[in-house]
């Protein structure tokens, strides 16, 4: 039953690569894989990783060690996190851009109101 759990554990939605590998390590202790532990954890990282880009990169690698696989996966994980942050920042900036339809209005600094500009 413990090996079944090990082989059927997908990476959780908000679980980082480090957290996923730590969970696989915990499960592997009960399985008593012996000298195959590192290789089997690496295989599970490749097969059960939720990010397709990470899977593709690890599948393309020539028989990576567990440490190499973790390193490659973390680089991709971090780059994806940075891209999400950048996209959030870009969207927040887009909101503050003046809409061309709003250019017909002028600010009245005396009473802090806006009125349609007469042409």
pLDDT band at 1 (very low <50, low <70, confident <90, very high): confident
Whether the predicted pLDDT of 117 surpasses 80: no
Q: Rounded to whole angstroms, how far apart are CA atoms 45 and 98? A: 47
pLDDT band at 30 (very low <50, low <70, confident <90, very high): very high
User: Is residue 116 in some structural domain?
Assistant: no
Instruction: Output 41 or 81, whichever has higher pLDDT.
Output: 41
User: Is residue 67 in some structural domain?
Assistant: yes
Range of the domain at 60: 2-83
User: Is residue 78 in some structural domain?
Assistant: yes
Instruction: For residue 11, give the nearest of 67, 37, 49, 62 by alpha carbon.
Output: 49
Domain count, the chain: 1
Angle at 49 between CA 61 and CA 16, to 5 degrees: 110
Q: What is the pLDDT of residue 19?
A: 97
User: Is residue 53 in some structural domain?
Assistant: yes
Question: Contact at 8 Å (CB) between 73 and 50?
Answer: no
pTM: 0.70
Q: How far is CA 100 from the centre of its chain?
A: 35
User: Is residue 65 in some structural domain?
Assistant: yes
* Torsion-angle region of 12 (φ positive above 0: left; ψ -120 to 50: alpha; else: beta): beta
């Amino acid at each position: 039953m413990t090996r079944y759990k090990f082989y059927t554990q997908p990476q959780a939605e908000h679980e980082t690569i480090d957290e996923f590998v730590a969970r696989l390590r915990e499960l592997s202790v009960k399985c008593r894989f012996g000298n195959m532990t590192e290789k089997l954890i690496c295989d599970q990282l490749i097969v059960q990783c939720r990010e397709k880009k990470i899977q593709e990169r690890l599948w393309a690698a020539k028989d990576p060690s567990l440490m190499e696989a973790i390193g490659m996966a973390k680089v991709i994980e971090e780059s994806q996190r940075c891209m999400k942050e950048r996209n959030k920042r870009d969207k927040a900036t887009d909101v503050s851009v003046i809409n061309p339809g709003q250019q017909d209005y002028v600010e009245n600094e005396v009473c802090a109101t806006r009125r349609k500009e007469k042409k």
